[in-house]
Structure 1
């Protein structure tokens, strides 16, 4: 059987790399495709060795880069330097071959628009996010979305064979918006006008690395849109009060200034009202009903309940810290009951403690950490900037162990970003993510 597989693989990669490709496929199937969190969850499809000849060459090299990079992360720090150097050189060789093979595939329209080429490019995007070329991830993501548009666009892919790839791309993009500055979010993704279609794609399944309930995922999208619009409004306000703009104003413009001020106040009031509405929707999420629906009598109610609990905690923290309501924006007496600054801070502290307790429980009780907790751990890390030092320790311990177990650099990168943030003495969400980051993998 193995000889037949080697013969098949040798048709599309050099003979001296056949064994490496077969080993990479076996590694992918056992260490990546087998990941699951609870029963009946969508899983990453294993690579079928019998169908390997139908794959483009770039997919094979992409798999080699992915697996080799993962092995480097998993390798013990005591590994001999000569062996580690050899692995790094092999990784560099695979990346060069991957680039060459991908350029060949994209050079022909038929192969450029094929499902396998799209799958290979998304795999390469995952490699980029994993840290091998992390600064390039946003450019790579936009290019991948351009290919989706070339194949017919979001609406067409929604009803086509690439739904699984679309599902993956949407999660990568919308989660990355959370860890990007408000005015540097991806703009190639569908916006709120297509929210129903976005949620239709999200209903494809529950991703093992992102188990956020669909209603909370929708609120995450709304929060990011609100962050962007609020930042644009603040930018316009700043420009309006800039000395240069004031010097160029008309001399008889007093009434116009009064009108502009009234409009600005009205816009700020709308922003505050929408912020309160978003937080209210998140807090009103019916967690027990969602867990019961997901379980459907299969005996996994507690597991689903825990997944929902950590995600709602993360979204509450994200909403409060990324949408602060400053004294310039509103008067405390005009806010609904329960929403003044002290009460919002108390709410954030409550969910921070709840989430920290969940991560401590997982660290103590689990032999293998779920990648689905990476995003909640990052949200906890931002909140930990102003909380007990123990929370920072829990986040760092969790992310470092997570990266080691899953063979990905993304949690390590997240920990580095959070460490810098904690040392900066700052506290706002955008202060933490000073440039676009992607940690979903």
Structure 2
């Protein structure tokens, strides 16, 4: 149907300098050409056309004269470098067969989109095999639906994803044991910029009285803690954990929060970081309050369905680690010989329970990946287990002070490989700590750790159940 008296061409015919037939609702000339007619509105609509990565529709003509770029061009180029950092993922070893598009986009939403693309292409595939050992709530593909849900999260949650993926890429493209090189400088600027935005957003939320103890604030603090420990940027990671501990105490303790589905992953992360962190901290400077350790021990004892299982650690062994931390803490505060005798007896009971633990029996309870659990001596190359060997390697490194150089070389080699393959700096921190300990001439456990360390490999917190 043609509208009488209409003399306005559709916008596509105007662009192509053709005579429009003025048909409503769409021009037939456009339809015959296989083009969606943009219509006859007063204002020209925005038209975006998707091009395959690397395909160019048109190029600007190169000038024969070379001129000095203007200040605005230099500034624009800097922004483009910052926002296209994820295109460097093509040179990452673990992602060498995956092409990550290089979008020249400048908003935080676009940066988040790029970060999610990188996570799905380069981080998620390395974590997926670990789910064969049992359910892991913090390992999932970021689907379009989850991305849309993520947009509703506070800035300090969303932008932490950018920090996690940028740090991962920086650790993958550098040398095994070397520092970050010049190629990582644009990435470092992006990392610290978004880390600053995360801190500012989280601080603003904490300063709002009615939100300072919310689930999202707990998740945000834990995310920032993981970002800092994985990148090795802050030695004061325990300040974050102390903040979470205070919030948990304000809200009634671990037992009160453990009943909520949304907070269970947060409590699991807190417990894992706190307990493992305390094993690598000098006494009596341990982070977790004795009352919380007792509560955690009781919660694990009452957990029959395994929903509060501590990562891939057998729950019974994780409880023994808690008891060892309690013994270390209490011994450091008492000098009486009678008290020391009681603690010695308790320590031997703990050791006997650990030695009585049967890996074969526990492996029988695991329906999936049974062989990996039983044959731990051959499990180092296993993609299912490689993310869980950091703390065991640190323990082996401490024990290596009594052994030959072969064991030390073994530990150092695997720490360096782990840092690059998994995109995290924390194994190299462990390497430095162990080398300093071996050179000190001392042999006791506390002498290895001059300050608290968090030798954990968890990179993110499950916030999917908070909305």
* TM-score, with length taken from structure 2: 0.67
Shift of 1:186: 1.0
* Secondary structure, aligned partner of 1:86: helix
Shift of 1:302: 1.8
Shift of 1:271: 2.5
Determine if the alignment matches structure 1 residue 165 to structure 2 residue 262. Answer: no
Contact 1:65 / 1:94 at 8 angstroms: preserved in 2?
yes
The 4+ residue runs of structure 1 with deviation greater than 6 A are none
Structure 1 unmatched runs, 5+: 4-13, 237-263, 308-357
Which shows bigger deviation, 146-155 or 178-187?
A: 146-155
Contact 1:74 / 1:407 at 8 angstroms: preserved in 2?
yes
Contact 1:167 / 1:201 at 8 angstroms: preserved in 2?
no
Q: What is the alpha-carbon distance in structure 2 between the residues aligned to residue 378 and residue 391 of structure 1?
A: 12
Contact 1:182 / 1:227 at 8 angstroms: preserved in 2?
yes
Q: What is the alpha-carbon distance in structure 2 between the residues aligned to residue 437 and residue 173 of structure 1?
A: 10
Match of 2:374 in 1: 305
* Secondary structure, aligned partner of 1:184: coil
Shift of 1:229: 1.8
Shift of 1:39: 3.8
Determine if the alignment matches structure 1 residue 276 to structure 2 residue 348. Answer: yes
Cα distance change of structure 1 residues 146 and 157 upon mapping to structure 2, 3 Å threshold: same
Contact 2:225 / 2:241 at 8 angstroms: preserved in 1?
yes
Cα distance change of structure 1 residues 232 and 168 upon mapping to structure 2, 3 Å threshold: same
1:436 aligned to which of 452, 458, 467: 452
> Once the two structures are superposed, what CA deviation does each residue of 1:254-288 show, in whole Å capped at 9, x if it has no partner?
xxxxxxxxxx4433332222222111111111222
Contact 1:138 / 1:186 at 8 angstroms: preserved in 2?
yes
Which shows bigger deviation, 122-131 or 104-113?
A: 104-113
Match of 1:204 in 2: 307
Shift of 1:232: 2.1
Cα distance change of structure 1 residues 81 and 126 upon mapping to structure 2, 3 Å threshold: closer
Q: What is the alpha-carbon distance in structure 1 between the residues aligned to residue 49 and residue 433 of structure 2?
A: 44
1:62 aligned to which of 136, 160, 168: 160
1:41 aligned to which of 135, 141, 148: 135
Determine if the alignment matches structure 1 residue 289 to structure 2 residue 361. Answer: yes
Which shows bigger deviation, 194-203 or 395-404?
A: 194-203
* Secondary structure, aligned partner of 1:180: coil
Which shows bigger deviation, 389-398 or 61-70?
A: 61-70
1:223 aligned to which of 302, 324, 329: 324
Q: What is the alpha-carbon distance in structure 2 between the residues aligned to residue 201 and residue 95 of structure 1?
A: 36
Structure 2 unmatched runs, 5+: 1-47, 51-104, 458-467
2:288 aligned to which of 174, 177, 187: 187
Contact 2:172 / 2:420 at 8 angstroms: preserved in 1?
yes
2:440 aligned to which of 405, 424, 434: 424
Contact 2:119 / 2:165 at 8 angstroms: preserved in 1?
yes
Determine if the alignment matches structure 1 residue 384 to structure 2 residue 456. Answer: no
**1:35-434 matches, cutoff 5 A:** 35=127, 36-37=129-130, 38-46=132-140, 47=142, 48-77=146-175, 82-160=182-260, 161-188=262-289, 190-192=292-294, 195-200=297-302, 203-204=306-307, 210-233=311-334, 236=335, 264-295=336-367, 298=368, 300-306=369-375, 358=377, 361-362=378-379, 365-366=381-382, 370-434=386-450
Whichever of the two has the greater Rg, that structure is 2
Determine if the alignment matches structure 1 residue 28 to structure 2 residue 126. Answer: no
Cα distance change of structure 1 residues 32 and 156 upon mapping to structure 2, 3 Å threshold: farther
> Once the two structures are superposed, what CA deviation does each residue of 1:220-242 show, in whole Å capped at 9, x if it has no partner?
11111111222222xx3xxxxxx
Shift of 1:51: 1.0
Contact 2:275 / 2:288 at 8 angstroms: preserved in 1?
no
Cα distance change of structure 1 residues 199 and 127 upon mapping to structure 2, 3 Å threshold: farther
* Secondary structure, aligned partner of 2:223: helix
Contact 1:33 / 1:44 at 8 angstroms: preserved in 2?
no
Contact 1:129 / 1:438 at 8 angstroms: preserved in 2?
yes
Shift of 1:2: 12
Q: What is the alpha-carbon distance in structure 2 between the residues aligned to residue 133 and residue 91 of structure 1?
A: 11
How many residue pairs match? The answer is 344
Cα distance change of structure 1 residues 379 and 2 upon mapping to structure 2, 3 Å threshold: farther
Shift of 1:414: 0.6
Contact 1:41 / 1:205 at 8 angstroms: preserved in 2?
no
Shift of 1:109: 4.1
* Secondary structure, aligned partner of 1:413: helix
Match of 1:313 in 2: none
Q: What is the alpha-carbon distance in structure 2 between the residues aligned to residue 108 and residue 60 of structure 1?
A: 19
Q: What is the alpha-carbon distance in structure 1 between the residues aligned to residue 151 and residue 185 of structure 2?
A: 31
Q: What is the alpha-carbon distance in structure 1 between the residues aligned to residue 222 and residue 383 of structure 2?
A: 30
Shift of 1:16: 2.6
Which shows bigger deviation, 101-110 or 383-392?
A: 101-110
